[in-house]
Amino acid sequence: MSASKLTPMEAPAPRVWGPLRGLYGGRTHAVVARGMRVIARNNWLIVLTGFFEPVFYLLSMGLGLGALIGGVEFYGHEVPYAAYIAPALMAVSAMNGAIYDSTMNVFFKMRYGKIYEQMLSTSLGPMDVALGEIVMALFRGLLYASGFMVVTTVLGLNLSWTALLAIPAAMVVAFGFASFGLAITSYMKSFQHLDLVWFMMIPMFLLSATFFPISVYPEWAQWVIMAFPLWHGVDMIRQLTTGLIQPSIWVHLGYFAVMILLGVTMATKRLKALFLR
């Protein structure tokens, strides 16, 4: 511009390589920065409301029901009931945060706000956008999980120092749900479709060894539950907060690694199909 005092600067060429050329520009952080700015400029309370749900479950079922139940057996050890369900609720809060962000928020941005169309009019690639949105969902998961961790620590429900690892583990859980949530949301055409997601989450929440061991079910039902991601998250975090760590923790991590990989690939493909037709 003639009136410009600035030396005009050209946008740097995207850092692209190999098969990711055209898909990824190495600028996920710009997408995250946008999300953070929106949160900073709007009401923080909206972010925090989702945190209370598992806290109320913990207070009512853990402390209330726990007084009647006593203890539950976990990998051969008796664990107080509240300490048994606390890690499960932490996995649930990570899941809720990630799913809320990657479905409701993403759906709105995709269909109404046209935010992704704007982003993809720049040198960002669809994978920058997908990863950026997943990081935002992870951030929400992190907030929920850390807040919950504070509550359980105060209540003395963390039985081992390995409980510290529960936060990164909750991040893994959130990452898995966020990437999958993003991929699924890209197929949704109306808010009614989002109800399906919540319809899936309620049985998963209630049945995935959250409030009682899955050994109460017939064997076939146990296999079904173990096929769903929440059970892996619950068992993994429970091993960490109780200190009863089993080799199966690697299976849980592997499960989420596959879920993340599939979710990110699918979400990138879908964003490309939707906005770079």
Partner 1 sequence: MAQPVISARGLTKRYGAFTAVDGIDFDIAPGESFGFLGPNGAGKSTTMRMIAATSTRTDGTLSVLGLDANHHGPEIRAQLGIVPQGDMLDEELRVIDNLYVYGRYFGLPRAYVKARSEELLDFAQLREKRTARVDGLSGGMKRRLTIARGLINNPKVMLLDEPTTGLDPQARHVLWDRLFRLKEEGVTLVVTTHFMDEAEQLCDRLVVIDKGTIVAEGSPQSLIREYSTREVLEVRFGSARNEAAAGRLEGIGERQELLPDRVLIYADNGEQALQAVTERGLEPVTSLVRRSSLEDVFLRLTGRSLIE
Residues forming contacts to partner 1 in the complex (CB under 8 A) are 1-6, 8-14, 16, 21-22, 25, 27, 30-31, 33-34, 37-38, 41-42, 113-115, 117-125, 275-277
Helix (H/G/I), strand (E/B), else coil: 238? helix
What's the distance, Cα to Cα, between the start and end of the chain in Å? 33
CB 250, min distance to partner 1, A: 37
Q: Residue 23 — φ and ψ, nearest 5°? A: -105, -30
CB 111, min distance to partner 1, A: 13
Pick 105 or 185: Cβ nearer partner 1: 105
In the block, residue with structure tokens 């664990």: 79
Q: Would you tell me how many other CB atoms lie within 10 Å of the CB of residue 65?
A: 13
Pick 117 or 195: Cβ nearer partner 1: 117
Provide the 8-state DSSP code for 211: S
CB 45, min distance to partner 1, A: 16
In the block, residue with structure tokens 């963390």: 158
Smallest CA-to-CA distance from 49 within 153, 144, 145 is with: 144
Pick 120 or 145: Cβ nearer partner 1: 120
In the block, residue with structure tokens 């990863």: 131
Pick 80 or 126: Cβ nearer partner 1: 126
Helix (H/G/I), strand (E/B), else coil: 217? coil
CB 37, min distance to partner 1, A: 6
d(Cα 163, Cα 169) in Å, to the nearest integer? 10
CB 38, min distance to partner 1, A: 5
Helix (H/G/I), strand (E/B), else coil: 186? coil
CB 3, min distance to partner 1, A: 8
CA dist list (Å): 269 to 15, 37, 135, 241: 19, 27, 18, 37
Pick 20 or 151: Cβ nearer partner 1: 20
Pick 123 or 162: Cβ nearer partner 1: 123
Pick 5 or 189: Cβ nearer partner 1: 5
SS3 annotation, 14-53: CCCCHHHCCCCCCCHHHHHHHHHHHHHHCCHHHHHHHHHH
CB 230, min distance to partner 1, A: 31
